Structure 1
Amino acid sequence: MDDERPIEEILDTIGDETAREVLAAVSEEPRSAKEVAEFCDLSLPTVYRRIEMLKEHELITSETLVARDGNHYDAFKSNFDATVIRLKEDEYDIRIYRKENLPDRFSSLWDELGR
């Protein structure tokens, strides 16, 4: 990963069964916290705790939407395509492949080639 977060924190996050349920729910389509709670049969406070965990590690993102009645709400969606964890020289290496648009992917690739 590009950041320096301890691997244990990330593994704890994706190792949490409830966090994985929430992540799976928002991987299918963007959903509000209430929709996630109903979809996963979880309490709203539990969903919000897991959303915060997942956002902390940039595994999900949110966008503010406007409902038909004019109220605003956040919709959450997955922010990665894949996670690869491997053991390399007695250390774990974790790589999270984030969703990016094509220009961002090209820029990242170009930057990596220049190193």
Structure 2
Amino acid sequence: MVEDEDAVLALLDDEYARAILAHLTSEPMSVDELCTACEMSDATAYRRLNRLLEVDLVTEKQEIDPDGHHYKRYAATVEAVTVAFADGAYEVDVTRSTTDPADRFTELFEGLS
């Protein structure tokens, strides 16, 4: 069971949060890449990413580009969200990715080399 079921459901009701999650299931991305892919502003992306981080639906990793600048890449930690209704209540279940996000970052980095 998810710690904050209402927060997860509210996020999934948001089109930008859903778009971010959809794109991050294919590969880790920076905010700039997400803004381009999802057609949103930086401010919108950062707000949604912060909310997604709070409920552990994404993870972040600090990267250093060849010029020495720091930036973050984000990856989805979720494969599925299920909502079950029974006995006058509901329960939200989050299925986490079987691939460790750190491994996904390593695979991405090695693919660039």
The answer to whether TM tops 0.5 is yes
- Counterpart residue identity of residue 52, structure 1: N
TM-score, normalised with respect to structure 2:
0.81
TM-score, normalised with respect to structure 1:
0.80
Gaps of 5+ in 2: 101-113
- Counterpart residue identity of residue 7, structure 2: E
Structure 1's consecutive aligned runs of 4 or more residues displaced over 2 angstroms after TM superposition are 99-102
Q: CA deviation at 1:8?
A: 2.1
Larger Rg: 1
Count of residues paired in the alignment: 100
Provide Cα deviations, 1:77-103, integer angstroms capped at 9, x if missing partner. 10012111110211111100112458x
RMSD: 1.5
Asked whether 1:28 is paired with 2:21, we answer no
Gaps of 5+ in 1: 103-115
Using CA pairs under 8 Å that are at least 6 residues apart, name the structure with larger relative contact order, 1 or 2: 2
Provide Cα deviations, 1:12-61, integer angstroms capped at 9, x if missing partner. 11111111011112111000011100111111100000101111110000
